[in-house]
């Protein structure tokens, strides 16, 4: 790989470079990354790319693809040589953010050349945009700006596959299971689907992520808009940090059960950025008292007059957002706070 440039993306805090490889390198090192993110995007019908497949054998120059990496403090890569060395040593852990269909077509072109006994232009150039981000959240932001609006890859789908592949939940003692798994009843074992929607709530800072009143296409558009409104900021709370907090608190069985209520988890995640500083040092006993007061206050409202699921999400988000104050509230004071949301 030949690296030509070294720049800095001030929005996502990433080092960005333009590089060049050839088709042979791309097949050996980049094509295996097509499945690096679980179900990132289904390869479309080869019929859509038959013309490109033929053109590759005629030495066409394909549009650049985008290769991304996660690295703490990418600004340590201070020049072209540092970027080239990092990519060479870590290419197997990269993500293809843009170019999955092109790389898949390149592989089919190589296979067709072997079958037809024709020359494959392995030395033809392929340009690569390299993005080295400091966090998964920032990478997702850039991923959505690349793919937003493309029918096969909605913002919701991108969040789901990136959460599925990028977070090592075992590292913070959170274990995720499928909906059918009986292990979900154990302390510290949660539904993977719940944490996917929790991640969407965190990124968009909103509890309105799955309204049944909107058609799915419009809901996906609104979700992408909310995520992109929240530009990544230096020193911002990352979702992995929130997971560490949940894992620590959920060691207590009562708190574990509270987080297993999906609407509690969504509300918590939606407000986690704003409430994190106040929550970061809370003890399990303090948090248990907090949720006990919250539940008592929530029961003060007539369930026949509220939309229960939405009300719970919004109520949890309100108390978490104001956790620095709400952690000291008794039931009556908590009820008064919730009136702003539910009245």
Of the candidates 9, 30, 2, 5, the one whose C-alpha atom is nearest the C-alpha of residue 18 is: 5
Whether the predicted pLDDT of 316 surpasses 50: yes
Q: What's the pLDDT tens digit per position in 68-82?
A: 999 988 989 999 999
* SS3 label, residue 129: strand
Q: How far is CA 191 from CA 184, 187, 212, in A?
A: 7, 12, 21
Q: Are 143 and 45 in contact (CB under 8 A)?
A: no
Q: How far apart are CA 148 and CA 225, in angstroms?
A: 9
Is 133:70 a contact under the CB 8 Å cutoff?
yes
d(CA 31, CA 26): 6
Scanning the structure block, which residue is given the tokens 């592989």? 107
Question: Hey, how many other C-beta atoms are within 10 angstroms of the C-beta on 231?
Answer: 12
* CA max distance for the chain: 80
Q: pLDDT tens-digit profile of 132-181?
A: 998 888 887 777 765 544 444 455 555 555 555 545 544 555 666 655 45
Chain-wide mean pLDDT for the chain?
Answer: 82
b/e per residue 305-341 (b: at least 16 CB within 10 A): ebeeebbbbbbbbbbbbbbeebbebebeebbebbeeb
Task: Enter the tokens of residue 207.
Answer: 């509890």
Per-residue confidence (pLDDT) for residue 146, from 0 to 100: 59
Residues 277/317, Cβ–Cβ less than 8 Å: no
Give the pTM: 0.63
Nearest 10 degrees: CA dihedral of 53, 55, 56, 58?
140
Contact present, 29 and 91 (Cβ < 8 Å): yes
The predicted model gives 84-97 an average pLDDT of: 92
Element (H, E) at 190: strand 189-191
What local confidence, expressed as pLDDT, does residue 48 receive? 62
**Residue 44: alpha-carbon gap to chain centroid:** 23
> How far is it, in rounded angstroms, from Cα 106 to Cα 65?
12
C-alpha R_g of the chain: 23
SS (H, E, C) 244-263: HHHHHHCCCHHHHHHHCCHH
pLDDT per position as a tens digit, 100-121? 889 999 999 999 999 988 999 9
Q: Looking at residue 45, what is its pLDDT?
A: 55
Q: Are 23 and 122 in contact (CB under 8 A)?
A: yes
């Amino acid at each position: 790989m030949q690296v030509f440039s070294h720049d800095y993306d001030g929005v996502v805090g990433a080092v960005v470079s333009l590089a060049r490889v050839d088709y042979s390198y791309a097949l050996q090192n980049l094509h295996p990354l097509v499945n690096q993110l679980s179900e990132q995007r289904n390869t479309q019908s080869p019929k859509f790319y038959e013309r490109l497949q033929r053109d590759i054998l005629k030495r066409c120059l394909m549009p650049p693809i985008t290769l991304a990496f996660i690295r703490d403090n990418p600004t340590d890569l201070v020049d072209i040589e540092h970027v080239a060395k990092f990519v060479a040593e870590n290419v197997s852990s990269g993500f293809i953010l843009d170019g999955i269909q092109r790389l898949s077509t390149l592989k089919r072109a190589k296979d067709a050349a072997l079958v037809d006994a024709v020359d494959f232009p392995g030395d033809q150039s392929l340009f690569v945009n390299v993005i080295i981000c400091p966090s998964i959240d920032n990478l997702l932001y850039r991923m959505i700006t690349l793919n937003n609006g493309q029918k096969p890859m909605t913002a919701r789908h991108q969040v789901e596959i990136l959460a599925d592949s990028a977070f090592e939940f075992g590292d913070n003692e959170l274990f995720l299971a499928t909906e059918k798994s009986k292990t979900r009843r154990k302390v510290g074992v949660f539904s993977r689907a719940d944490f996917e929607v929790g991640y969407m709530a965190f990124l968009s800072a909103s509890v309105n992520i799955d309204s049944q009143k909107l058609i799915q296409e419009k809901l996906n558009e609104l979700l992408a808009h909310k995520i992109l409104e929240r530009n990544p900021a230096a020193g911002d709370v990352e979702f992995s940090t929130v997971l560490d907090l949940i894992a620590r608190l959920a060691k207590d069985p009562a708190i574990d059960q509270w987080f297993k209520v999906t609407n509690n988890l969504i509300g918590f995640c939606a407000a986690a950025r704003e409430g994190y500083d106040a929550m970061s040092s809370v003890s399990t006993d303090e948090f248990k008292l907090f949720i006990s007061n919250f539940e008592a206050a929530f029961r003060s409202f007539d369930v026949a007059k509220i939309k229960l699921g939405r009300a719970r999400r919004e109520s949890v988000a309100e108390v978490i957002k104001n956790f620095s104050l709400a952690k000291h509230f008794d039931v009556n004071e908590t009820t008064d706070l919730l009136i702003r949301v539910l009245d």
